[in-house]
Amino acid sequence: MKDLFYFIGKLNGFAGYRLYLNMLLILVISLLEGIGIYMIIPLLGMIGIVEQASLSGIPLISSMEKIIDGWSWELSLQSVLGLYVVIVGGQALLSRCQALLNGRILQGFIRTLRMQTYEGLIHAKWEFFLRRRTSDFHHIMSSELGRVNQGTFLFLQMISAFLFTVIQIALAFWLSPVLSALVLLAGGSLVLFGRRFVRKSKVVGEQTTALSRHYFAGIQEHFNGIKDIKSNQLEPSHLNWFNHLSRRMEENFIQYGKINAMSQLIYRLASVVLIAGFVYAAIEILKTPPEQLVLIVLIFSRLWPRFIGIQSHAEQLVSQFPAFRAIRQLQSDVESDRERIHTEENTGKALPLRMNQGIQCREVDYRYDSSLPVYALRSVNVHIPVNRMTAIVGKSGSGKSTLMDLLMGLIQPERGEVLIDGVSLREETLLHTLRGAVGYVPQDPFLFHESIRDNLKMVSPEASDEELWEALDFSAAGDFVRTLPLGLDTVIGDRGVRLSGGERQRLVLARAILKKPSILVLDEATSALDSENEQLIQDALDQLKGTMTIIVIAHRLSTIRHADQVIVMEQGYVVQQGGYKQLSQDHQGTFGQLLQAQTRTAL
Ligand SMILES: Nc1ncnc2c1ncn2[C@@H]1O[C@H](COP(=O)(O)OP(=O)(O)OP(=O)(O)O)[C@@H](O)[C@H]1O
């Protein structure tokens, strides 16, 4: 319930006066509908079904008669019918306006919510993503937002039904307090009885969230690993998983349907019994005049379906509560894990990085999980000199990528400092500047499902075609792009799968170069290249030496022969640091052993 109130507060903040206008319209529409019902009685009087004289005893009719008398109108069939058309027509017109306003409020609210959630996610720290499955974000951004949309719609519908009920009950009370109190008492006991269905719906709603989360995670994993599935013939086990989950989802929906159908059945049966008892009491015990009875039956016959609707809406609404909670939780998590560089002051383009000495790590410790005594980096002290090439090497899992993330300011040390020219990276403006100055090429390069031109221009929207080709030639990608029939306009597939691994790496390298970074970071960025293309890129990087700071992670040690400095890592510690030649001569050192191992493999 807390979550619902949180979103109502947000809805109120978003819609403001429009929400109240919406309610006012509902009130007027309900009033007009009530008056429309009342209009039937004078009509019945004119037809002769009820006696004209007895109409003056009915509260609202007598007031209306007085008003009409004041206007010196004659209560003729035409005037009553005319008034009826005006009232019911006016109500229809207002209903249309209200439906449109309702739609605008709802869609605008969901758009804002979607935008806020996405903005929060995209500005969250890298560490936030390390702790979560990406499928959970897909789930929240699609399924859960959809459920919040439906929940908000139901909530607005419930307000409308509630206001309608209040107005109609007020009119009924005016007409006959005793009869109305009887009906209300019956309605109230039904609501109390219906609470058990609402509780059950909530439990089913929680199961729905868990199942759909599971579904999203599974689907994403399966299609990411489709090549593995096909080549290792894992289809049967995946089909089995899918079949099992689909059945559980089916059962979940059926269970919800059962609850809803049962509550509706009970409500309908109770309505029939109540109406029968009510009519009996009205005629036999209370001796209600027929015209009043007709009106009350008319009012309640229109009111009852809405009343039942409130119960059904309440069940649906609580079944959506877990989605409200999931989005609220995510919004609060991303807020507390927001990257400090994304503040109001830092919305503009970062200032250019002017680095004179370099980046330094001083006594850095880092753990991915602070509750475990497992360190990814331990007492790391390194210096990355400006405009030089530094290579980071070590066995798999030794901490190379973690150190790289630290140097790029993606993660913050648990102990110690990362400094640029002696200034701590904990300083927000510096972090913003550093991020703007880095060109990063990851191990598994990512390309958007856009043209090559769009993919490149993402980092430099103003770049001319000449600059694009220059960057492509630099990364040894110019030749293969020229052979494509559409050249720069070739659309590359989802995650660039229509290109080979090496082609993707070269395109992403071109993109990084186009940014004209002060710091170029290559994480195993040439691992998928053949030796010819790798050599071309090595030559190009050699040309860049002295113009930008280059940090390279490499497994193939032959590719870092020209590095000015090599950092050797082992189990989170920096065990050696120095020039390539110097380290390679120490045959007992970790680097010497790594070199020997690679030479043996190459033979
Ligand atoms: N997201 C993560 N959550 C928990 N532990 C992690 C995470 N990423 C890395 N680690 C752990 O931190 C240690 C260092 O990992 P890191 O990726 O930095 O090594 P690496 O030298 O880059 O390895 P590789 O050469 O295989 O890429 C490893 O023990 C690894 O299991």
How confident is the model over 72-119, as pLDDT tens digits? Answer: 556 677 777 787 788 888 888 998 998 899 889 989 999 998 999 999
Most confident range (mean pLDDT) of 6-10, 161-165, 378-382, 434-438 is 378-382
pLDDT at 57 over 70: no
**With pLDDT > 70 as the criterion, what percentage of the chain qualifies?**
90
* Residue 569 alpha carbon, nearest atom of ligand 1: 21
What is the 377 CA–ligand 1 centroid distance (Å)? 10
551-565 pLDDT per residue, tens: 999 887 777 888 889
Handedness of CA 472, 475, 481, 483 (dihedral sign): positive
User: What's the pLDDT score for residue 349?
Assistant: 64
Query: How many whole angstroms from its chain centre is CA 500?
Result: 32
Q: What pLDDT band is residue 51 in, cutting at 50, 70 and 90?
A: low
Q: Quick count: other Cβ atoms within 10 Å of Cβ 118? A: 14
Q: Quick count: other Cβ atoms within 10 Å of Cβ 324? A: 25
> What's the whole-model pTM score?
0.77
114-137 pLDDT per residue, tens: 999 999 999 898 888 988 888 888
574-591 pLDDT per residue, tens: 998 988 888 888 888 888
- What would the mean pLDDT of 51-77 be, rounded to a whole number? 60
pLDDT at 253 over 60: yes
What is the 579 CA–ligand 1 centroid distance (Å)? 25
Q: What pLDDT band is residue 381 in, cutting at 50, 70 and 90?
A: very high
Residues with CB under 6 A from ligand 1: 130, 368, 376, 394, 396-402
What is the 273 CA–ligand 1 centroid distance (Å)? 69
Q: Quick count: other Cβ atoms within 10 Å of Cβ 592? A: 16
ipTM comes to 0.97
What is the 396 CA–ligand 1 centroid distance (Å)? 8
pLDDT at 516 over 70: yes
Pairing mode, if any, of strands 415-420 and 423-424? antiparallel
Q: Quick count: other Cβ atoms within 10 Å of Cβ 585? A: 12
Output the residue whose Cα is nearest ligand 1's atom 14: 399
User: What's the pLDDT score for residue 53?
Assistant: 56
176-220 pLDDT per residue, tens: 787 778 777 877 777 777 788 888 888 898 899 899 889 988 888
**With pLDDT > 90 as the criterion, what percentage of the chain qualifies?**
17
CA separation for the pair 378, 373 (Å, rounded) = 11
Instruction: Domains for the chain: give ranges and CATH numbers.
Output: 2-336 (1.20.1560.10), 358-602 (3.40.50.300)
328-358 pLDDT per residue, tens: 999 899 988 888 765 555 555 667 778 788 8
